[in-house]
Amino acid sequence: MEILLLGTGSADGWPNPFCRCASCRSAATRVRGQTAALVDDVLLLDCGPEAPRAAMRWQRSLSQVRHILFTHGHPDHVGPAALLMRHWTGAVEQLDVVGPPSALEQCRDWVGPDDPVRFVTVQAGERIRVGDYDVRVLAAAHGADIGGDAVLYDLESQDARIFWATDTGPLPEETYAAVTGAGYGAVFLEETFGTYTEHGTEHLDFPAFAATVGRLRDCGAVTDTTDVVAVHLSHHNPPESELTAVLSDSGARPGRDGEVVRVGAAAGRATRTLVLGGARSGKSAHAEALLAVEPAVTYLATGGVREGDPEWVERVRQHRSRRPRSWRTVETVDVAEELRSASDAVLLDCLGTWLTARMDRHHVWDGGDGMNAVSADIDELVSAWRACPAPVVAVSNEVGSGVVPPTASGRLFRDLLGVLNTQIAAASDEVVLMVAGRPLSLPAD
C-alpha cells in the first residue's frame, strides 16, 4: 500500500496565512496544507477543498480515484467541488463516496443525475468493502457541532493495514477495543495543538497524543514496526526540530506534505531516488522527508569539517537538527562501500561535495593527470548506487542552468558533476528537481 500525504496541516494549515507567530515564521519554507491522503492512486482519505490541487502539486492525477472516504463534515475535510470537477471530465467509472451523514449531505447536490457515483452512508461499528479494500468504520471523539457523527477508518488491503485517525480527541474505549491486536503498518494520528493544552476542543495536544499512542501500543494496534505519523498539525506546535524531538519520545514523527509512506509489500521495495536542485531550493529537506518513514537511516555526510568556517558549522548544525535521533551519521567521502553494504536506508548528501573531495584527492584542479582516477571513482560510485540493497536517496546540485563558470577549474567541476548527475539519474527509479521548495518529478523519457 502506498499512501501519498496530500496535506498534513490543520484546517488553517501550517503556517496560518494570516499569522506571523514564531511557529508560523519557522514553517514558512515547509508549508502544510489541509490533511488528506491518496492511497494507491485509487482511494482518497478525506478530500477537502485543497486536496485536488495538492495532488497536482505532487505530480499525481486523480483520474484513477474510485473511492473517497470522508471522516466528517468539517469544511477542511469535505470539498464537494471535487465531484463537479470529475463530472466535467465525463467520467464513466463508478466512484464510491463513503462517509457519515454530515459529510455526504454536502456532496449530493454536486453530482449530476447520471453521474456514476454511489453514496455509502456509514457509522462507527460498520464494515464495508470498497474495491480492493476492507474498511472498518471506527468511532471518533469529534464534531459535536456537526451531530457528533465523525468517524475514523481502519483500511486493509491484501498486504497492508493502516489506521486513519483524524480528527479526534482521546479515542473512545470502543475504538481501542476494535483495534486491539491490529498491528498496523502505519497509523496517521492527528496532533493539532502541540504545547497548547487549554484548547478545550476534541483534538489532540502533546500529552494527549503521547497517551493515545501509549494506549495503542498497549492494545497491540501499534507495534515496534508501526510507522506512527502525526498529521493535522497547526501553528500551536513548536518549530520542526523541536516537534520531531517531542514526537520521537512516543516513537512517532511529523508527517510532511508530499511524503509517500509505503506499507506492506510496497515497503520492501529498494528504491533509488536522485534529488536535484540549486542553492537553497529545499533539496536536502525534501530528501530527508522521503526517508522519514524509515525506522533507521544512515546519513552519508560528504561535506566534512571545515576548520575556521563558522558559517559552514552553522549549516551542518541546522541539517543535524532536522534529522530524527534514530539516524546514524557517517562523515566520509568513501561512500561506495557504505552503499554496497547498507542494511538501513541511506541518504547521501551530497554528490557535489563528494566530487569536490575526489578532485582534491587526485589533484585535478590545476591540470594534474588525475582525471582517469576521478572517472574511475565516478564509475565505482554509480556501480555501488545500482547495487545498494536498501532504499537510497542522493542529493546533488543541478549545474546545467547557471552561468558558465569564469575559471577553467569551475568549468571542469560543472562538466564532471553534470556527467555524474546524468549517470546517477539513469540508474535511479525516481529523479526529482527542486525549484523554490517545490518538487518536480522528472520523467524517464
What order do you get walking across the sheet with 117-121 strand by strand?
117-121, 95-99, 67-69, 43-45, 36-39, 2-7, 260-262
First to last CA, the chain: 26
Between the alpha carbon of residue 442 and those of residues 222, 274, 275, 385, 433, the distances in Å are 36, 10, 10, 19, 7
Cell of residue 74, nine digits: 468539517
SS3 of residue 165 by DSSP: strand
**Whether the Cβ atoms of residue 141 and residue 168 lie closer than 8 Å to each other:** yes
- The residue type found at 392 is V
**Whether the Cβ atoms of residue 346 and residue 392 lie closer than 8 Å to each other:** yes
Q: Is 362 a catalytic residue?
A: no
Alpha carbons within 13 A on the beta-carbon side of 422:
8
Q: Which residue has the cell 453521474?
A: 115
* Catalytic residue selected from 203, 319, 362, 363: 319
What order do you get walking across the sheet with 438-441 strand by strand?
328-331, 297-301, 345-349, 392-397, 272-277, 430-435, 438-441
> Catalytic residue numbers?
319
